[in-house]
Amino acid sequence: MRSSSAGRLTVAVATCLGAGFSPVAPGTAGSLAAIVLAAVVLRPGQWSPFYFAALAAAGVLPGIWAAKSFAESRREKDPPPVVIDEVIGQWITLAGATVYNWKSVAGAFLLFRLFDIWKPYPVRQAEKLPHGFGIVLDDVLAGVFAGLVLWALGCFNLY
């Protein structure tokens, strides 16, 4: 990666401020970083689906750009340190919560990781899109599926 300020910004965004450089399970580290970052940006007592959806939406275009640039610099299709996609997917999942407490946040984390790893149709197909689109959009879809399950569980007061 080039040492310019644009290069440093690319690395910061793509790796969620370095969370993607975790030596163990960088995707999981990215999902945890999303929750921590949300707690820093949004006061936990004021969390709402709208705020998580807004965070995710605001992150998509910069995420695609950073993922593409980072992957190209590494000459890899989807380098493990790129976790901005997990951050966005985790926020989308959290947008599906009907209430926010430790159970819903833990459930959102587990559900997103499940859908991100499992990659049911059409999540796996989105992964095949070119450049940063494939890196980010598969996790967007995984987040949508996980968020719908989280919402359904909340409708039955299961958290």
pLDDT above 90 covers a percentage of the chain that reads: 92
Tell me the helix, strand and coil percentages in the chain, rounded to 5.
Answer: 70, 0, 30
Decide if pLDDT at 130 tops 80: yes
Task: Give SS3 for 76.
Answer: coil
pLDDT band, very low/low/confident/very high, at 19 (cuts 50, 70, 90):
very high
CA distance 46 to 63: 25
Q: Could you give the number of structural domains in the chain?
A: 1
Q: Is the pLDDT of residue 2 over 80?
A: no
Q: What is the DSSP string of 112-156?
A: HHHHHHH-TTTHHHHTTSSHHHHHHHHHHHHHHHHHHHHHHHHHT
- Put simply, whether the predicted model's pTM sits higher than 0.85 gets the answer yes
CA atoms of 20 and 45, how far apart (whole Å): 28
Q: Is the pLDDT of residue 103 over 80?
A: yes
> In the 8-state DSSP scheme, what is residue 52?
H
Give me the mean pLDDT over the 30-49 stretch.
92
Mean pLDDT of the region 114-119? 98
The type of residue at 3 is: S
Q: Is 50 helix (H, G, I), strand (E, B) or coil?
A: helix
What's the pLDDT band for 81 if we cut at 50, 70, 90?
Answer: very high
- Written as one letter, the residue type at 24 is V
Can you give the residue range of the structural domain that contains 25?
A: 5-155
